[in-house]
Structure 1
Amino acid sequence: MERRLIINCDDFGQSPAANKAIFHLLEEGKVSSATVMAVAPGYEEAASWCARRQQPNVGLHLTLTSEFEALRWASLTGHPSLHDETGHQYRTVQEFETGAAAGAVMKELEAQYQLARKSGIRLSHIDNHMGSLYGVETGRSLIPQMLWKARRWRLPARLFRYIDPSDPLLSTLSNIQRPVALASGLADAFGVPIPDYLLSHPYRIVEGETYDRFKQSIIARLYKLPEGVCETYVHPGAEDEWMQASIPNWDKRIWEFRLLFDDDFAYAMKDAKVILTDYRYVERYLRRPRGRSAVKLMKVLIAK
């Protein structure tokens, strides 16, 4: 069986520095796709570029949080439950899960989708900034609502059905198997295609980490990639003095941008026989039969 990898650039539209990096990566075919933030300050620049080029592999990065002190934004709909006392989206997922009204979230998701469509973006899939819809902090999951929207929009979604035992984050989470089975089962029952695996890596520079160590850790994972379709995400950024001074962990974003142009990484992809793929492939080949998926989901729901 083949091993396919989606490399998705999160945070498209966050800032000019993020846009510059992602434009270059998409133009050179170094990544599979990017997901755009309809509420962020660099959105108009990103959307105009996508529409002008008719870029085929850009998804929607559903954004309900605004985490950086120096770079903040508000929702499109302006509902008070979606904002903190400063009038911006919440800084943390926990604040969002605690404060956001579900109905207001649904309207905001629709508004972000409609803006992307009106901007001329040919959406290929959806995912979620900081996992704010997944219930990771308080257990208040809005995954069913997100999948309902994905079904109506006829778009694949970033979820996953299996956990790679070597994943540094997901494999360490306790009691995750049942939530993953429920979420993937619900996606299948709704007819929303999803990848097989999601591969994580540390967002921040960990103690003692250098660019070369980071590169080698990612390359090593290419050789251990499970069969099927995996997605990994990057947050690439071009060098920018203000960003490096104002936004935490910006140096890691520069590393991720550099990695994707690194000859060692390109060689490893070929040597490990990893096929760079995208969400158009997921949409075409990974949709499960809805009837059988609904029956399977019911079995998961009634299992102890």
Structure 2
Amino acid sequence: MSGRQLIITGDDFGMSVEVNEAIEEAHRRGVLTSASLVVAGDAAADAIARARRMPALGVGLHVALLHAPAVLSKEQIADLMDENGRGFGRQVWKTGSSIALFPHVRRQALAEVRAQFELFRKTGLALDHVDGHKHFHQHPWLLGALIALAPEYGIRAIRLPRESAFHSWRAAGCVGLGRRLFDVSAHWPLLRLMRRMLRSAGIASNDWFFGKHDGGAIGRSWVLRLLERLPPGASEIGLHPACRSWPPPYGPPAHWRVSEELAALIDPDVIAACRRPGIRLAKFSDLTAEGAPC
């Protein structure tokens, strides 16, 4: 197994103290190499303070236009907010369609994205990468906006949520091959476009992403099975560790946030497997803009 880089990311950094605690523990005691920060999250200040104490952690911006709190007010981005005005709406199709069809909604979305980058800039943290909450950065308009903002905000790497159906199927214990193949087929044109846009802009990305179908239920055995057949190139495992279940005001139900993923990241066998010859733990800032085509 040569030429395999492995990025292990904790998403939703800043959404809650429970998530922040798990990300810090998984980085200090385990194999977590990066985290994606929700700058408007309820515990963002706590996450930023922790990140400043962990200079080896690659911290990126988790751009959120769905299922999360907003930086701007309801009056500024009314068409993106939920009916209560407490945060973004939950319906991917509705938000995606509105952005695609209506210029005024695109203006609101761009204003919010800029506000999130400005907040990240104020943290003083180096921007390791950019990705999207719920992988919404796959939306062609949003990806185009991120590429346009890249020179201004120093965006050098963006997550490519491209999962190998067979590798993830084996990792999950040979469960759910049909839905994995369907998802790969449905998203292949979008991911191909995404890869082409990133390469044309000279922005680096991972080759593979794992955790799209099994997020919230990734344990020790899952990770070990994946590492047995990790594909060549740069792979990212995207996780949502938490020290304990918590009742988030946005996103999935509380039972989805369990400590199994944290336990996997600090497991001695997982640590040994991640550090064996042929695999190199990395951050997005270690990648180049070159890679294999989709």
- 2:96 matched to 1:91? no
Q: Which runs of 5+ in 1 are unaligned?
A: 67-71, 206-210
SS in 2 for 1:61: strand
Tell me: CA distance 1:107–1:177, structure 2 relative to 1, closer, same or farther (3 Å): same
| Structural RMSD (CA) | 3.0
4+ residue runs over 6 A deviation:
none
How big is the shift at 1:82?
Answer: 1.6
1:184-207 alpha-carbon deviations (Å, 9 max, x no partner): 1110111111111112341355xx
Tell me: CA distance 1:179–1:47, structure 2 relative to 1, closer, same or farther (3 Å): same
How big is the shift at 1:52?
Answer: 5.2
- 2:42 matched to 1:37? no
How big is the shift at 1:89?
Answer: 0.8
- 2:142 matched to 1:142? yes
Tell me: CA distance 1:253–1:149, structure 2 relative to 1, closer, same or farther (3 Å): farther
Q: Which runs of 5+ in 2 are unaligned?
A: 100-104, 170-178
Task: Output the TM-score relative to the length of structure 1.
Answer: 0.78
Percent of pairs with identical residues: 24
Tell me: CA distance 1:18–1:189, structure 2 relative to 1, closer, same or farther (3 Å): same
Equivalent in the alignment of 2:197: 186
Asked whether the 8 Å contact 1:147–1:157 carries over to 2, the reply is no
SS in 2 for 1:176: helix
2 CA distance for matches of 1:86 and 1:242?
18
- 2:77 matched to 1:76? no
2 CA distance for matches of 1:86 and 1:9?
29
How big is the shift at 1:81?
Answer: 1.4
Equivalent in the alignment of 1:111: 115
Tell me: CA distance 1:98–1:57, structure 2 relative to 1, closer, same or farther (3 Å): same
How big is the shift at 1:236?
Answer: 0.6
1:1-56 alpha-carbon deviations (Å, 9 max, x no partner): 32111001100000010111112222335211001001110111112332355555
Deviates more, 1:49-58 or 1:86-95: 49-58
1:201-223 alpha-carbon deviations (Å, 9 max, x no partner): 41355xxxxx8xx4222211111
Asked whether the 8 Å contact 1:58–1:121 carries over to 2, the reply is yes
1 CA distance for matches of 2:195 and 2:112?
24
Asked whether the 8 Å contact 2:5–2:282 carries over to 1, the reply is yes
SS in 2 for 1:287: coil
Which letter does structure 2 place at the counterpart of 1:198?
A: F
SS in 2 for 1:202: coil
**When the two structures are aligned, how many residues end up with a matched partner?**
271
